[in-house]
Structure 1
Amino acid sequence: MNDLIFLKLGGSLLTDKTQTEALRGDVLARLAAEIAAARAAAPGLRLVLGHGSGSFGHVAAARHGTRQGVKNAEQWRGFAAVSDAASRLNRHVVGALLAGGVPAISLQPSASAQVADGRISQLALEPLAAALAAGLVPVVFGDVAFDSVRGGTIISTEEIMDYLAHALQPRWLLLAGETAGVLDQDGQIIPTITRATLPDVLPALGGSRGIDVTGGMIAKVTAMLDLADARPGLAVRIFSGLEPGLLTRLLIDPALPLGTRLA
């Protein structure tokens, strides 16, 4: 069995997305400790970690309109500023992981991504595979990218993990956010969402709190169902990263019926 797990720490979990560059340092430190605890309890665990840009990259990207395209000198300066903001949060995340005992290494997507009209056509896999083979935890993140059609754009963490999943074939993708799962209109957790039930739950998904240039919950759920359709052996789970201990439990046993499973 492939023991590889993809874990995404949402930008709204790590930062306050209603303020500019507001890191939730206490949450980040606890999550790093929970990842370390899971690795200690399950020595065979192989993990690829991704994180959103939260109030770092999303605020800058919205200001400059980077997702839609980059053409003139002012937009290219904005492109560079968005890259800098996203990387600042990444340094916080990797620093916290290392301080917590997780041997994390950052792999910046913009350094190797080839993108055409917002779709990733190529991303370097060799460094990521080498990191896993060395027992490290590679960390990717939502980033800017050069785009053959748009000039420049933004590639989300989900889009990056979608591309990587086709090559690396993880058995689980765990999405840690602020909420206990995908909630219905009464605020109750929806245990499972399938392609067939998606139309019924769409009215409940709404938008994201704070600024999210990559589409919010509707885009995330739809993208994850697309990924599950394309990779029949992959299961996706959305859960709360704010509940202490939950991340450790799910990394050890992702099949626990917690949060929302997308199938």
Structure 2
Amino acid sequence: MRLTIARKLSIAFGVVLALMVAVALLGVVSLDRASAAAEEITESQVVMQGLDRSLEYLLWERVELGRVWSRGETEHIARADEIRAEFDAAWQVVQTHRGEEYASMLDAIEREHELYGELLKEAAAIFEANPNDLAAVLTKVGEADDFFYRTLEPATELLRQEEQARVEQTQASLRASVDRMVAVATAAGVIAVIAGAAAAYAISRGISRAASQLSLAADSISRGDLDISIELKTGDEMETLAESIERMRISLKAAIERMRRRQAVT
């Protein structure tokens, strides 16, 4: 099967184009992965922020209640209730995003929240029963503080570390994906350039050689040298042209031979 020069160029261009399309598709896939990774990282940051705020709100609630019990400033009770509502909202964010994945850990932390809240309620009950018994109130508050720092905060921090590890893993996966994409794109680009240049060089070189051979053959024929053979195997129009010239040479040589034989007879 013979291929025209134009078809050869089209095939070479098609190969280069296919490589570029493949790179583009890889870019789209990489972009989708990057977008998904960015969403995961954003979600993890929201979760970690919710965990940090939940601890912060519990501490601020403790501060406001401490002002009530130590100073008798009952107006801080309302502020403590507001902070508790803010804590509930922050914790709900964590539950919304990780309620299924970390169900057991979240359930354990919620039970610790309840135990901590019960200790604060007991301190409040002691204060309400006898506002002057500050020592008993502080003893119960000390139990609550000890529970917070020894149990509740470490459990929350452990969950935060799990989420941080998740972020780092996602970031590492994203970096690896980007590195692979860059490597593939670079390799494909280099291959496309080399393939295009090689194809163009090979085709142009073949045309140049064929044209040179045909020119020499035509020049020889014009000088009367009909014994020169023309053989080109380029598989394109140049080979077809060479075959036509070769047939013409053979026909011309045969005609001259016939004329010579006739002249010899006469």
Q: Could you say which structure has the larger radius of gyration? A: 2
Q: More relative contact order in 1 or in 2 (CA 8 Å, sep 6+)?
A: 2
Scaled by the length of structure 1, the TM-score of the pair is: 0.27
Q: Which has the higher helix share?
A: 2
